[in-house]
Structure 1
Amino acid sequence: MKRSILNWARLALPSFIILLLFTNTVQKNSHTAAATKRYLYVATPGIRNYLEYGGHGLLVFDIDDNYRFIKRIPTAGLDEKGAPINVKGICASLATNCVYISTIQTVQCIDLVTEKIKWERKYEDGCDRMAISPDGKTIYLPTFEKDFWAVVDAATGDVKQKIITNSGAHNTVFGLNGKEVYLAGLRSPFLTVVNAQKPSETRQVGPFSASIRPFTVNGKQTLCFVNVNDLLGFEIGDLKTGKMLNRMEVSGFQKGPVKRHGCPSHGVGLTPDEREVWVVDGANQQVHFFDATSLPPRQIGSLALRDQPGWVTFSLDGRYAYPSTGEIIDVATHKIITTLIDEHQQGVHSEKMMEIHFNGPKPVRLGDQFGLGRVK
């Protein structure tokens, strides 16, 4: 009998050890997954948000808890009288563990772990909506609607060189592969494409039918989708041939007066799976949806918003859309599921927001202020 028990133990023990190791691995992986938290970082103020709703700072919302307000991180970007200056852009880097916010005068660098301001630099020619390289070393900073982009050292804020376009520098997208940067000026119908390894090497896409406003690119960096002045809709360009391909006008709605930006559509984004293009409509307080599974895209619907939108971007998983009016929209159903509310129960409006994931105290994944396609 004893011998039988010993034989059974010899046979069973290795299996028990394997089961124990497997259980520990599953628990460890589950713990790691549970430790990753997703947050939406929203930079304020826009001029309207400050004047009508008050407050400024970097607001943080918990994506996994129905976008519950978490905290307000103090920011710089104040004028000589201590009033906040209008925010123009936001970007971040995992390499530096920092988030960067531009105003019309300055750029500030905030440590994502300590939440302290590492540096703030004022630029004589002003600032607009910038982008940072994937390696975290370089910021392409447009001057405030002037003639050039500054190539900035992200560690110090020092200007390394200038890219002169004479286009009214305005919006900037860094391609996901880190090889090309896209520059749009609000006085030019051309999109400038910069070789990130040799910034002096540039080429142009266009002309489009009018000056380019907000825009986005697909994940393979073969197509761009651009808003232009006087168009309710968007145009499409081929980033390889440099030619304009399509002009998409929103049907069923008329252009009308807008409160800001001076153009009917100031905001266009691709869902991360690139199956849809979303474009905003200021005068009619709408966002319009286009099926982008084939070209030219086909209009498939619209959704009313609580105010005039001026931007739209998306969550990394593609489940949610973020118009600048503060609604959270379910992408699959095209329905509003909640709205952004701050600690004072005020509605939050901003065109400068991005998703950041943390594993414990460390940032581990980033979204983007632009609605970029992510199919590679």
Structure 2
Amino acid sequence: MTTFDDKRIATLLRSAPVPEPRVDVQRAIRDGRRRRQRRRVGGLATVTVLAGLGAVGTVQFGGAASEPAPIPPALAVSPTAPVSTAPARSLTCEASLLPQPIGGPVAVATAVDPTGRHIVGDIGTGNEDGRVVLWTDGRAKVLPAAARHGAAVNAGGYVVGTNGDGTGWVYRGGTLRTLATPPGYDAVLVYAVNGRGDIVGTARGANDSHRAVLWSVDRPQQYRLLGRPGSAANGITEDGTVVGTMGDQPYRWTPQGVGAELAVPDGYPHASVDSAHGNWAIGMVPGAQRGGSVQMLPVRWNLTTGAASLLPYPSANGVAANGDLLVSDTAPLVVAADGTSRRLPERAEIPATEAGTYTANGISDDGRTVVGAVYENQQHRPLVWRCH
């Protein structure tokens, strides 16, 4: 199982049906594939999709598995313990539902553009029938049925994603176009797009072969391979810096295509980079083994200094260009680069006795817009937090 499989599985499983009201969808997705699962999520339809992509497997790490893992820092956030919130800047946040242009009990906002104007998500039944939806300034538009599993949206409202058969696509100005699959590979996994129209992802072939790929919104049938075989690209910043992995090591490419390894926290053998915004990137390192599984721990990189920091939080679902970290457990939290934090509120119109379970999946560059979902009344509903 490779790094880009984990992230692709996360994208696909966001529409999986959840049978019980206290399930945290995003947590279960990440924990399930990274061997930190605490709750069960139903996902029969998703297994079918993943089998078609050849992405079924278990997380294994090499010789370091028998060595004692470094002791991670004590968690600063707990699902049950109160959190001290002393924001560096005074902000008031409000949660509101996004309109649903089509019916479906599983409706989730999965990503937001750097400005906070454009939001992308999925609405369906959770049985591999989800339709991609783009919300712009609160107005919803359903993308063509040929587009599935939206992954990201940029400041121009261009959406990218990957269908269940491994076909990459870009939606721009009402037109849906496919992305080229490089020769020698049979699928691509598309993860991110920046404001310049650069799209990044990973091509996948037989015997788990894979390589990082860069496309352009303007020329989707052209591409550039990044790094050597065995590379993967998972994120791109507005200036064109690409992050991902080379083998099992975290890696970055400059806008000119020059690659270099990123630091791994002391005492850890491997790391993966999941996404990047501004001068910040987040990812994971393998922690201790538990019953044959590996506990994955979140990491943040400062791309300016190259420093890697093991985070004292149970998860990291996103990072803003200003360094704000999005932590989503049973109640989403935004943590500033200086360590101060603010808890995102529940919807004001819902009585406390009827409060649902909230998940947060994406954050804007200024940290003031966060998107996700709330599970209440036996269904998931798309949600946005606006802070001012």
Structure 1 position 246 matched with structure 2 position 261? yes
Structure 1 position 220 matched with structure 2 position 224? no
Aligned pair partner of 1:337 in 337, 341, 345: 341
Shift of 1:225: 1.7
SS in 1 for 2:151: coil
Matching residue of 1:10: none
- Structure with the greater relative contact order (CA < 8 A, sep ≥ 6): 1 or 2? 2
Matching residue of 1:292: 303
Gap runs ≥5 in structure 2? 1-12, 26-87, 287-293, 373-388
Structure 1 position 164 matched with structure 2 position 181? yes
SS in 1 for 2:346: coil
Aligned pair partner of 2:202 in 184, 189, 201: 184
Structure 1 position 195 matched with structure 2 position 203? no
Aligned pair partner of 1:99 in 97, 104, 119: 119
CA contact (8 A) 1:286 1:303 kept: yes
CA contact (8 A) 1:49 1:348 kept: no
Shift of 1:150: 2.3
CA contact (8 A) 1:131 1:172 kept: no
SS in 1 for 2:266: coil
SS in 1 for 2:359: coil
Matching residue of 2:95: 70
Tell me: CA distance 1:87–1:303, structure 2 relative to 1, closer, same or farther (3 Å).
same
Structure 1 position 140 matched with structure 2 position 160? yes
Aligned pair partner of 1:302 in 299, 310, 313: 310
2:260 and 2:230 mapped to 1: Cα distance? 11
Matching residue of 2:145: 122
Tell me: CA distance 1:50–1:194, structure 2 relative to 1, closer, same or farther (3 Å).
farther
1:106 and 1:150 mapped to 2: Cα distance? 14
2:93 and 2:19 mapped to 1: Cα distance? 21
Tell me: CA distance 1:77–1:322, structure 2 relative to 1, closer, same or farther (3 Å).
farther
2:170 and 2:297 mapped to 1: Cα distance? 36
Gap runs ≥5 in structure 1? 1-43, 57-62, 256-263, 359-365, 370-376
Number of residue equivalences: 274
Letter aligned with residue 350 of structure 1: A
Aligned pair partner of 1:152 in 163, 171, 176: 171
CA contact (8 A) 1:340 1:348 kept: no
1:93 and 1:287 mapped to 2: Cα distance? 25
Tell me: CA distance 1:52–1:209, structure 2 relative to 1, closer, same or farther (3 Å).
farther
1:224 and 1:88 mapped to 2: Cα distance? 21
Shift of 1:247: 5.1
SS in 2 for 1:349: strand
Q: Cα deviation per residue 1:222-273 (whole Å; 9 max; x = unaligned)?
A: x3221478x4x621234534x5422533333578xxxxxxxx7463435x3x
Tell me: CA distance 1:244–1:200, structure 2 relative to 1, closer, same or farther (3 Å).
same
Aligned pair partner of 2:319 in 309, 313, 330: 313
2:336 and 2:367 mapped to 1: Cα distance? 20
Tell me: CA distance 1:203–1:267, structure 2 relative to 1, closer, same or farther (3 Å).
closer
Tell me: CA distance 1:313–1:47, structure 2 relative to 1, closer, same or farther (3 Å).
farther
Tell me: CA distance 1:279–1:45, structure 2 relative to 1, closer, same or farther (3 Å).
closer
Q: Alignment identity in percent?
A: 6
1:287 and 1:281 mapped to 2: Cα distance? 7
Tell me: CA distance 1:268–1:336, structure 2 relative to 1, closer, same or farther (3 Å).
farther
Structure 1 position 84 matched with structure 2 position 103? no
Letter aligned with residue 276 of structure 2: G
Aligned pairs for 1:250-265 within 5 A: 250-253=265-268, 265=272
Matching residue of 2:133: 108
Tell me: CA distance 1:265–1:54, structure 2 relative to 1, closer, same or farther (3 Å).
same
Aligned pair partner of 2:251 in 211, 235, 239: 235
1:350 and 1:127 mapped to 2: Cα distance? 17
Q: Cα deviation per residue 1:32-61 (whole Å; 9 max; x = unaligned)?
A: xxxxxxxxxxxx9665988554799xxxxx
